[in-house]
Amino acid sequence: MPVTESKLFRIQISHDRLTATLSVNGDSLPPACTAGKIEAEIQPFKLFLNEEGRANIIAFAAKLAEHAMPQPMVIAQGDPPVHDENGQIELLYKTSQGDAATGEAQEDSPQSFYERSNIQRVRAGQPLLRLIPPREGQDGRDIFGKPIARKRGRQAQLSLGANVRLEDDVVYATANGKLEYSGERVSVSDVLEIAGNVDFSIGNIDFDGSVIVARNVLDLFKIRSHASVTVRGIIEAAEVQAEGDLTCQGGMTGKEKGLFIAGGTIETKYITNATVRAGKDVVVRMEVVNCDLICRGALRIESGLLVGGRTVATGGLRVRTLGSEACVNTPVEVGIDDNLRQTYLRVAPEIEQLRRKAEKVRQIVEPLLRNQKALNAEQKEKATELLYNSYDLEDRAEQKIEQLRSVQEESRQYCLEEVVVLGEVYPGVTFRFPRLEGIIESPLKGPIKFIPRKVEGVYQIVAVDCLSGSCFSIHSGPTSDTWLQAAEALLSGKS
């Protein structure tokens, strides 16, 4: 501790220069002196004396007057500095467990363990973080009245990654996706990468961007993506829906519960016991066994097997082995757009009902129109309403027909009435084309192509040997499923 001495007194000054303590210089008692004299004695030290310090000097002088050795006495005190508080980052999003900032549990927190996701999903425009600036403290003052500088606060350090922007100290997401926030860096990723399995540690996934799973998707978990889904391992009895493509490098083991849907293409090693829907092609390397499979594109299993289940391949089928030696029932529909079929099955009864209603209304209004002069004002108003109703009902029926027509036009570009078997095809396989259906009665060797063709004026399914070009008809006839003819009649105005 620095010491400053006068002839009679010594002043000890604390290291932080916030305290000055007065004591007697040496061991012998100095002569009595007044407080004023003491102040004059220490005046060269230029201490900043306040009221309390002066009172203590008076007490010190009083002790000396009593010829007693006074205890060291604090005669000057500075004000310590109040340091700035560093800037902070406030979390503005809610975690799946609750409010990130307050730690409060979310009221509508999901019940199912499958739904407990650790992925922090955010939406474009959502505020994520707020940068709170450093809080300003106050400079101090030492015992000489000189300022003691406070420590300045640091701004919170945050670097901005992809898909975020900073505005008025608030960080916003600029895209839908997964929030990645480490405390120092924030970004929103439109690709969700799961390093391991999709299991209870991850929970169900519902993501706007692409999803990549490094290992497997376990039983009963759900993945939904507005883009593509890629699974490097296998998919078990899970529900995986991608608006884009679905790629599974292992295989898909549906166990009767699996549901695999892609707006685009599905590509995998094998698919067993699953429901499969694809907006485009389904490409499988090894086998498709016992699946309810509908694709708007082609089904291609060029080095593998298709057996059992039910298959609708709008864009045709190309397969190595079709059916099995055990003659397993393997129905295959090609060139048929299931979307058109479903649309027809939905709108046809609606159209029928609208037309029936319109007809009923017309039957009421027509006699009124024939006899207008006899109608009173109220009846005339009513007749207008009825007339309008019948027009409106017919309009609505017409709109539904247009809806069906646009699906039909769209489906034309997908449809290919062709089955190509590169290896073998076995009995148990049945074909259904838009107008024909046929069965395989004995095993046939490929490469062989099945297509509808007019033979002696009658449409039949013919098998064309791809090597020799020779062809023969298989057992076939008009299809028993006549929805397409009915749909065409509806569209051409014949029904």
Partner 1 sequence: MKFLLVDDSRTMRNIWKKVITSMGDNETIDAGDGAEGLKVFLEQGPFDILLVDWNMPNMDGLTMIKKIREADKSTPIIMVTTEAEKPRIIEAIKAGVNNYLVKPFSPDALLSKIQETVKKTEAVS
CA distance 90 to 482: 64
Which of 376, 492 has the CB closer to partner 1? 376
Q: 471: which strand partners? A: 464
Which of 249, 372 has the CB closer to partner 1? 372
Q: 194: which strand partners? A: 213
Which of 85, 366 has the CB closer to partner 1? 366
Amino acid at 180: E
- The tokens describing 481, both together, are 């499923």
DSSP 311: E
Name the region of 158 (left: φ>0; alpha: ψ -120 to 50; beta: rest): beta
CA angle in degrees (0–180, nearest 5) for 482-419-284: 115
Shortest distance (Å) from residue 360 CB to partner 1 = 17
Cα-Cα-Cα-Cα dihedral sign, residues 108, 109, 112, 115:
positive
Which of 307, 383 has the CB closer to partner 1? 383
Shortest distance (Å) from residue 365 CB to partner 1 = 8
Shortest distance (Å) from residue 251 CB to partner 1 = 54
Which of 7, 373 has the CB closer to partner 1? 373
Shortest distance (Å) from residue 391 CB to partner 1 = 5
Helix, strand or coil, per DSSP, at residue 277: strand
Shortest distance (Å) from residue 303 CB to partner 1 = 57
CA distance 288 to 216: 19
CA distance 14 to 1: 6
Shortest distance (Å) from residue 369 CB to partner 1 = 7
Shortest distance (Å) from residue 354 CB to partner 1 = 16
Residue position matching structure tokens 């499988």: 284
CA distance 270 to 236: 12
Burial category of 256 from C-beta neighbours within 10 Å (exposed 0-12, middle 13-18, buried 19 and up): exposed
Chain residues binding partner 1 by CB under 8 A are 365, 368-369, 372-373, 375-377, 380-381, 383-388, 391-392
Which of 326, 377 has the CB closer to partner 1? 377
Which of 14, 403 has the CB closer to partner 1? 403
Give the total residue count for the chain.
495
DSSP secondary structure letters along 218-260: -TT-EEEESS-EEESS-B-S-EEEESS-EEESS-EEEEEEEEE
- The continuous run of DSSP H or E covering 347 comes out as helix 338-370
Which residues, at least 6 apart from 478, have a Cβ–Cβ distance to it below 8 Å?
435, 436, 437, 459
Which of 200, 388 has the CB closer to partner 1? 388
Which of 150, 362 has the CB closer to partner 1? 362
Shortest distance (Å) from residue 396 CB to partner 1 = 12
Shortest distance (Å) from residue 161 CB to partner 1 = 44
Which residues, at least 6 apart from 365, have a Cβ–Cβ distance to it below 8 Å?
383, 386, 387, 390
Which of 369, 489 has the CB closer to partner 1? 369
CA distance 220 to 212: 18
Shortest distance (Å) from residue 353 CB to partner 1 = 21
